Amino acid sequence: MDNLNSKKTIYRLDDGMFRFWYRFVYPNLSLISIDKGDMVYDRIKSQIPDFMGEVFESICIEYMWDIYETLTVPFQNIGRWWGNNPVMKSQIVIDFIAYNDTNDEAILGECKWRNELLDKGIVDSLVNKSKMFSQFTNKFYYFFSKTGFTNEVLDYAKKNKNIQLVSLSDMFE
């Protein structure tokens, strides 16, 4: 993604199989070749949720393309955003921003691959991060969660038409 005119770029493998291979298999080839797969699994199992978080982000972006025709924001660009927030004086990451160069609307999204319900703190965090994008006067928020949402988030989303909640099960209906 263009990073909204940023000059910094992050490169990463787009293919999940290759990312998995180079992160988990390749460094452990010797152990795997002597049938120590159980030992390898014990070493890597704590890293699997983090890896799946990136995979889930990719699935969420694909989902946004799948529902494109139903969206009120006709975006042409979508992808992960990272950079410095001058207000917060910190580096921030947004799982995705979808926007069109010709209008003032954007969709910002968070994708959470966790066993806990997505809570209001995640919602508030994305809304606060979005304030640095003053070029977008109309902002819409999509929150994706593997396990669902707290009642507080469900109630908040019902009152705010700019917030959409999507669970993993919703994505595969």
Taking residue 116's Cβ as centre, other Cβ atoms within 10 Å add up to 11
Q: In the prediction, which pLDDT does 28 show?
A: 95
Can you tell me the distance from the alpha carbon of 108 to that of 141, in angstroms, rounded to the nearest whole number? 5
The answer to whether residue 16 scores a pLDDT higher than 90 is no
* 2 band by pLDDT with thresholds 50, 70 and 90: very low
Class of domain 52-171: alpha beta
Cβ-contact 143, 165 below 8 angstroms: yes
Of 54 and 13, the structure prediction assigns the larger pLDDT to 54
Give domain limits for the chain: 52-171
User: What pTM does this model have?
Assistant: 0.83
